Structure 1
Amino acid sequence: MLKRLYVSDGSRMAPAVIRNYAERDFPGLVEVQAESFPPPYPSELWWNEEQLRAHVTRFPEGALCAEVDGRIVGSMTALRRTFREGDRHDWASVTDDGYIGTHEPDGETLYVADICVRPAYRSFGLGKWLMQSMYETVVQLGCRRLLGAGRMPGYRGVSGELTPERYVAEVAEGRRKDPVLTFLLRCGRSPAGVVRDYLDDEDSCGNAALMEWRNPFKP
């Protein structure tokens, strides 16, 4: 995939590229992870070069990055899966600890392992461009849907009064805002359930919201 476009943060325009990432991009991708997921998010969950090499080898179509002025400023990584009853659903199990050894070439679901944008570039709408590009990949590959488990970092502050399910519902209803879930809703994703003990993420209290996008060209 290769898209050349101009993006704006409301005050300036900048040339941007959405493309598949390659080995030369690994240092920049690791930097993006570090900036996007600061403590208390565990640094051992940032991508490492061995994981990134697995992405571009096993499923290059699902390895996207965003570049502005020649600098890597965001990325999105996915794999294909077909989920079956009884499958364990946590980040480590679904993504093979980020090495995507669980990738199924004919899987009906395009599963998002990660999406991130450097904080200084989030006002340019690059997260939406990455998401839209992955929707196009869903259609091109003939998958039924895009699915991912979104962090819910706003939940920690209300965990004593709301269940994770109620929190997601209130965000979807517009009664609350969440830094991640509100973004996913604006990208056209819909809630499809809550997974507990999904990831060691203090802000989300270990929970994640399953968020999907259905391929409109598939029954």
Structure 2
Amino acid sequence: MRQEIKKVELRNLQIEDYKQLRNSMIEAYPDMENSYWAESDIKKLLDIFPEGQLVILADDVVVGSALSIIVPEKLAYKTHNYKEVTGNYKFTTHTEEGDILYGIDVFVHPKYRGLRLGRRLYDARKELCEQLNLKAIVFSGRIPHYSQFANEMSPKEYIDKVNRKEIYDPVLTFQLSNDFQPVRVMRNYLEGDKRSQEYAVLLDWNNIYYEENKKLINVEKSVIRLGLIQWQMRPLANLEALFEQVEFFIDAVSGYGSDFAMFPELFTAPLMADYNHLSEAEAIKELAKYTELVRKRMQEFAISYNINIITGSMPFVEENHVYNAGFLCRRDGTFDMYRKIHITPNEIFHWGITGGNTIQTFDTDCGKIGIVICYDVEFPELSRLMADQGMNILFVPFLTDTQNGYTRVRHCAQARAIENECYVAIAGCVGNLPKVNNMDIQYAQAAVFTPSDFAFPSNGVKAEATPNTEMTLIVDVDIDVLKELHEHGSVQTLKDRRHDLYKLKKLK
């Protein structure tokens, strides 16, 4: 019968707990001789690493514990036995210079099992690993039911069957259910462990928040602020009038501390009004003559307003080919170009646009991002390849003339957020340009989309602008929440892909 309890407490071990700790250890390991630590050993652990020693109490009695030391990664992952990793049981292997939290013991009194007290101990260990900025938790777990199958299968086969839930092992099954991953089989690990045939399984849990060189300044942010510009198409007298409007919006979003400002696709199109007497193909090439000037001014704005700018897109001529391209202008003064890869029939027919051929992500002071232009978001392969490169935010400047076209962009952007476990930000143009051929009228609603899980809005929409109204949309997105989703989401679309059946790769 399960023990009834009124109060549960998890805290750090104290030397005054020793007698109760010893009694619970004896009950937890009835099949092993000398299954408890001496009081001098516990005192040593408390002297060298008090925060690593945890106990759980039921009605003020110690009924479980998790004991740990810190060791170098090389020691944790090399083939070893229990005596070696604990420094001949004297904990001389513990070092504050280490990067692995090594679990030397975890147990729960048999009368208190089934209450998930062991899970609490493991969760507390994970929190400690994160707080101490250690790479991982590593330990070697017993496989006490292996002795029942030792004549039928190897330890590796046994572990595989436990992993597939074909066999239940009271220790290994529990460890696997707590997100620990098998690394290798350890032979002759714990002397006297007859039920495991002295085999153990080296397991680890990686700290996704680990920072190798923790910095005091220029630390990569967790919460990123996006400033999306829903741009009104309007007649412009000249290039300086465009810059005046651009600077107004950059000033506005940077004033709210935005890390990024994004303009829409082909937002410079009003400047084509002076070339309306030409064919559409000739007019777009004339517009392209402004592109380098716009890029240089955007670089200046990025530095002076301390903001990363995604310039939407503009026509760009290279070797007599016209591309639909844009620039990431970072606040440190550097820039990169991106090009639209998938070109719509309209762009080809009227402007003779050529598709780019580079699929890439970009490093920023806010992490790795991806940028695709409008129609590109309707091709899931692009953003999946970017996600494989570590992209956290996908930016999509777009230009659509009808609600039908906008609906395609919107719903595909939402799908990209879900399938790639990332944020997707979209921004487009609104209004009309009656004196510019092939620009007609625009329809847009800027938005930021999220994955669909409990940490995010239930409809997957972080925020959205008013449709067809010139405005800015300021949105905060949390990268740490994505990290949690990747490892602990209710579904894990990136991890659960069947790489044994299909793969996606770039050809160039």
Give the TM-score, by structure 2 length: 0.40
Contact 1:88–1:94 (CA<8 Å) still a contact in 2?
no
Tell me how far apart the structure 2 counterparts of residues 25 and 163 of structure 1 sit (CA, whole Å).
40
2:58 equivalent in structure 1: 68
In structure 1, what residue type is equivalent to 2:107?
Answer: C
96-105 or 47-56, which deviates more:
96-105
Q: Give the one of 133, 137, 152 matched to 1:142.
A: 133
2:42 equivalent in structure 1: 52
Contact 1:55–1:63 (CA<8 Å) still a contact in 2?
yes
3-state SS in 2 of match to 1:104: coil
3-state SS in 1 of match to 2:46: helix
3-state SS in 2 of match to 1:73: strand
115-124 or 77-86, which deviates more:
77-86
1:99 equivalent in structure 2: 90
Tell me how far apart the structure 2 counterparts of residues 121 and 107 of structure 1 sit (CA, whole Å).
34
1:108 equivalent in structure 2: 99
Tell me how far apart the structure 1 counterparts of residues 203 and 38 of structure 2 sit (CA, whole Å).
26
Gaps of 5+ in 2: 212-508
2:184 aligned with 1:193, yes or no?
yes
2:236 equivalent in structure 1: none
* 1:60 positional shift: 0.7
3-state SS in 2 of match to 1:194: strand
Contact 1:76–1:115 (CA<8 Å) still a contact in 2?
yes
3-state SS in 2 of match to 1:14: coil
2:426 equivalent in structure 1: none
Tell me how far apart the structure 1 counterparts of residues 50 and 85 of structure 2 sit (CA, whole Å).
18
1:36 equivalent in structure 2: 28
Give the structure with higher Rg (CA).
Answer: 2
* 1:64 positional shift: 0.3
In structure 2, what residue type is equivalent to 1:206?
Answer: E
3-state SS in 1 of match to 2:159: helix
Runs (4 or more) in structure 1 with deviation over 3 Å come to: 85-88
Q: Give the one of 124, 130, 151 matched to 1:160.
A: 151
* 1:213 positional shift: 0.7
2:68 equivalent in structure 1: 78
Instruction: Give aligned-pair identity as a percent.
Output: 30
3-state SS in 2 of match to 1:84: helix
Contact 2:80–2:186 (CA<8 Å) still a contact in 1?
yes
Tell me how far apart the structure 1 counterparts of residues 163 and 137 of structure 2 sit (CA, whole Å).
18
1:211 equivalent in structure 2: 203
Number of equivalences: 208
In structure 1, what residue type is equivalent to 2:89?
Answer: G
* 1:99 positional shift: 2.8
Listed one character per residue, the Cα deviations across residues 157-180 of structure 1 (whole Å, up to 9, x for unaligned) are: 111121111111111111111010
Listed one character per residue, the Cα deviations across residues 7-49 of structure 1 (whole Å, up to 9, x for unaligned) are: xx6x96632111111110111111111000002x122x42110
Contact 1:98–1:113 (CA<8 Å) still a contact in 2?
no
